[in-house]
Structure 1
Amino acid sequence: MASTTQELDAFVREALARGASRQQTADALAAAGWPAEQVRSALSAYAEVDFPLPVPRPRPYLSAREAFLYLLLFATLYYAAWHLGSLLFDLINKAWPDPAEMEYLASRRPSSMRWSTASVLIAFPVFAWVARLLSRELARNPAKRLSAVRRWLTYLTLFVAAMVLIGDMTTLLYNALGGELTLRFVAKVVVAGLIAGSIFGYYLWDLRKEEKEP
């Protein structure tokens, strides 16, 4: 695989150096059967500047600081989202109590709500601060958008959010088909769907915006 990538990079460099346009190079590679994504990646390695030789773009590198910040960003996102959902579930249980709920579980609700509230109040500001810090760094150096750890964690987040949405809709349909829908149950489904859907929608939009930008 590495040698194949090197061959593609060498061809693109040689083609651009000999005066071939990017479109001509892309068309030739497409005719040879190269995937469009690989062709686009190889061409994007060189800047579109007026110079006799292809000018390489700066390549991002993975630093321990970068890995720490992205891990902290997504960990606090998961943590805050989970406890926000837990807090809203507890509020729904309090608003529409279930007569069959055990007294032990009902007595634990205030403690659960306090813990979830504290978790959200601590984790979300940390997430917002790290997100702002990384956003500023990306604005100063757009090449960092190609960071491997950023892309892997973003796609992992999309996967987790998609699984939650699929499970959420499956549970809703299952109970609807069984005639077991209640206001309390529907409210919980809506909460889970809104949290997971918001996360999925934002990061999908961010990836699509990145693909459209040069």
Structure 2
Amino acid sequence: MSAPAQLSDFVRDALAAGIGREVIRNRLQDAGWSAAEAENALAAWADPEGRLPPMPRPQPSYSAREALFYALKFLALIVVVWNVQALGSDLIERLAPRDYVPYVSRWSIANLIVFTPVFIGLHLYTLRLTRQDAAKRRSPVRIWLGNIGQFIAVLTLLGIATTVIGTWLSNALDMQLALNLALLSVISVLVALFFRAELATK
């Protein structure tokens, strides 16, 4: 998050005058700015060198087109993951059938045929953009969606753990449920690792 212009100008002028960062930080907090606001304002400027004034550091930026690409990539990944899970569950149902066997394979296959190339194409495109322009790695949309993806994956893993414990204590954990939960766990871990790798290059 970028600092307000007035605060940013003050920090720039103070650094240019040779005042230390710790002194600036303390003065800002004494004036009512929060520690996070003071730190963000200081982080936006590099220390002056010689006759050069403080240099501004790169700040996160994004465009509507960029937001569209990352949002579509995120949506495509959700659709792919959802339907991989559905196909896996359908296969488990067929291998260990109960009284009711849901049939989702055709729709899941159709969704995967459409959305898997979309996801791969957008991923390769955004990967190329970040390699060509390092500023793209600081995209707030990219970082936000990456963190949301990790949050959903971790939340799913916690839900799986709760389900395993609850059904085991209730003697309701059969082979079919265990296989479904194991499949969902693997998918969730892979999704979490994918978004972690995405954020690691920010």
When normalised by structure 2's length, the TM-score is 0.81
Q: Find the aligned partners of 1:88 and 1:175 in 2 and give their Cα distance.
A: 21
Alpha-carbon distance change, 44 to 156 in structure 1, aligned in 2, over 3 angstroms: same
Structure 2 spans left out of the alignment, 5+ residues: none
Structure 2 counterparts to residues 87-102 of structure 1, below 5 A: 87-98=87-98, 100-101=99-100
Of 114-123 and 68-77, the range deviating more from structure 2: 114-123
CA contact (8 A) 2:137 2:201 kept: no
Deviations 1:1-53 (A, max 9, x none): x9x74454234312332345xxx415752684876655554344335785611
User: Which letter does structure 1 place at the counterpart of 2:120?
Assistant: A
Please list the CA deviations of residues 52-77 of structure 1 after superposition, one character each: whole Å capped at 9, or x if unmatched: 11222454543221111011100001
| Higher percent of residues as helix | 1
1:161-198 alpha-carbon deviations (Å, 9 max, x no partner): 22222211111111011122222111110111111222
Q: What displacement does 1:97 show? A: 1.0
Corresponding position of 1:45: 44
Contact 1:158 1:203 (8 Å CA) reproduced: yes
Report the Cα distance in structure 2 between the residues aligned to 1:205 and 1:38, rounded to whole angstroms: 28
Change (3 A) 1:150 1:37: farther
State the shift of 1:125 in Å.
2.0
Identity %: 30
Match of 1:154 among 136, 143, 146: 146
Counterpart mapping for 1:108-119 below 5 A = 109=103, 112-119=104-111
The total of aligned residue pairs comes to 197
1:79 Cα shift? Answer: 0.5
Cα separation, partners in 2 of 1:43 and 1:52, compared to 1, 3 Å: same
**8 Å contact from structure 2 (residues 45, 56) kept in 1:** yes
User: Aligned partners of 2:165 and 2:26: how far apart in 1?
Assistant: 44
Moved more, 82-91 or 172-181: 172-181
Amino acid at match of 1:25: R
CA distance in 2, matches of 1:26, 1:80: 49
TM-score, normalised by the number of residues in structure 1: 0.77
Specify whether residues 92 and 153 from structure 1 end up closer, same or farther in structure 2 by C-alpha distance, changes over 3 A only: same
In structure 2, do the counterparts of structure 1 residues 153 and 172 end up closer, same or farther at CA, with 3 Å as the change threshold?
A: same
**1:82 aligns to what?**
82
3-state secondary structure, aligned to 1:52? coil
Q: Is the 8 A contact 2:146 2:198 kept in 1?
A: no
Report the residue type matching 2:129 in the other structure. Answer: E
Of 174, 177, 183 in structure 2, the residue corresponding to residue 185 of structure 1 is 177
RMSD, aligned CA: 2.8
* CA–CA separation in structure 1 for the residues paired with 2:137 and 2:22: 23
What is the alpha-carbon distance in structure 1 between the residues aligned to residue 129 and residue 22 of structure 2? 31
Runs of 4+ in 1 over 6 A off after TM superposition: 33-36
Which of residues 116, 119, 123 is equivalent to 1:127?
Answer: 119
| Structure 1 unaligned blocks of 5 or more | none
CA distance in 2, matches of 1:203, 1:30: 37
